[in-house]
């Protein structure tokens, strides 16, 4: 039972990171119906921006850990949001009126460009970061096995919960959220009613990139190492989470992230580490057979 509880904590932590990335996929798809396959690499950019910000903050002599983390979070979100805005403005907006496969092909191309850009500028070696948030709490201790909850796991879970609540409020209650929902339903009619569709889409990319930056920082703090390839693997799993939960649904993206994280951790803990990805994708296939729109997704109704 203790081992199960420990794996549950680890799975929720990993799933929280996947969920933050998955929200970026589902927000973009919900508005313009596009799968931004470069979003995983935006997450990778966010992790590198966080690492560079850490080095900058340390060089400036900041010794307070909470202050350093707040500064790193601010700068990494700001810089990564700029990357997301540039990506939409340069690579996606000119192709919005083109045939449906054009933005998809461009997204895959931009993913490769971002990977190679980081590899050339930061080289291919793994970049380490010494532990910043240390310590934790022992929940149970039987003498042979102890269940622990580290402080970094608490930070990740609380941060994800707060961000999920904040973004749900923005989508449901604010003017920007109403404009996003209007563009999701009918962008042409929204434009006729005075909504600046280009601005809404750009802000959606900015919001998704900001969440990816937070996920990149959490990943860096949790694992302590990053490289230029983490975006591809995490991006595929986060996309899987978005589809599993119901792409276009924010709660579905978070639910899918938690499910993927739990499947990976439990499969690796009880069966085989080598086949944890196979288990996750198999569950996705099974769920989509019975729920084609995902667990919380709504079926698309085509108007004639």
Instruction: List, in sequence order, the alpha helices (H) in 193-229.
Output: 197-223
End-to-end CA distance of the chain: 55
How far is the C-alpha of 264 from the C-alpha of 279, rounded, in Å? 7
- Report yes or no on whether pTM surpasses 0.75: yes
How far is the C-alpha of 88 from the C-alpha of 201, rounded, in Å? 8
Contact 102, 92 (CB under 8 A): no
Contact 13, 208 (CB under 8 A): no
Q: Which pLDDT score is estimated for 301? A: 57
The domain locations on the chain are 2-290
Contact 262, 39 (CB under 8 A): no
Which mean pLDDT values do the consecutive 10-residue runs of the chain (304 residues) have? 90 94 89 86 96 92 90 95 94 85 89 94 91 89 85 94 90 90 89 92 93 95 94 91 88 92 92 85 87 79 51
Q: Which pLDDT score is estimated for 272? A: 83
Q: Which pLDDT score is estimated for 304? A: 46
Q: Which of 251, 58, 76 is nearest to 171 (CA)?
A: 251
DSSP letters spanning 252-267: HHHHHHHHHHHHHHHH
- Tell me: the pLDDT tens digits for 54-97? 999 999 988 898 999 999 999 999 999 999 999 999 999 998 87
Q: Under CATH, to which class is 2-290 assigned?
A: mainly alpha
Q: Which pLDDT score is estimated for 302? A: 53
- Tell me: the pLDDT tens digits for 108-118? 999 999 999 99
């Amino acid at each position: 039972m203790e081992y199960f509880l420990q794996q549950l904590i680890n799975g929720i932590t990993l799933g929280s990171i996947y969920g933050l990335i998955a929200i970026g996929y589902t927000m973009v798809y919900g508005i313009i119906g596009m799968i931004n396959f470069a979003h995983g690499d935006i997450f990778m950019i966010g992790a590198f921006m966080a690492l560079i910000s850490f080095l900058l903050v340390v060089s400036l002599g900041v010794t307070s850990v909470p202050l350093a983390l707040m500064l790193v979070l601010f700068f990494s979100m700001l810089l990564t949001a700029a990357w997301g805005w540039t990506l939409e403005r340069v690579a996606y907006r000119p192709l919005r009126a083109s045939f449906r496969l054009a933005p998809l092909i461009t997204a895959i191309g931009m993913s490769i460009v971002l990977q190679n850009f980081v590899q050339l500028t930061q080289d291919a070696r793994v970049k380490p970061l010494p532990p910043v948030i240390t310590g934790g709490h022992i929940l149970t201790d039987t003498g042979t096995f102890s269940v622990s909850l580290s402080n970094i796991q608490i930070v990740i879970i609380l941060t994800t919960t707060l961000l999920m609540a904040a973004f749900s409020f923005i989508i449901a209650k604010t003017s920007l959220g109403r404009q996003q929902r209007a563009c999701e339903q009918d962008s042409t009619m929204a434009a006729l009613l005075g909504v600046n569709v280009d601005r809404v889409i750009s802000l959606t990319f900015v919001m998704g990139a900001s969440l990816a930056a937070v996920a990149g920082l959490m990943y860096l703090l949790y694992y302590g190492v990053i490289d230029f390839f983490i975006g591809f693997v995490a991006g595929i799993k986060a996309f899987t989470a978005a589809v599993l939960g119901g792409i276009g649904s924010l709660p579905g993206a978070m639910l899918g992230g938690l499910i993927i994280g739990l499947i990976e951790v439990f499969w690796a803990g009880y069966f085989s580490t080598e086949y944890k990805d196979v288990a996750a994708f198999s569950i996705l296939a099974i769920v989509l057979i019975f729920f084609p729109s995902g667990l919380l997704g709504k079926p698309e109704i085509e108007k004639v």
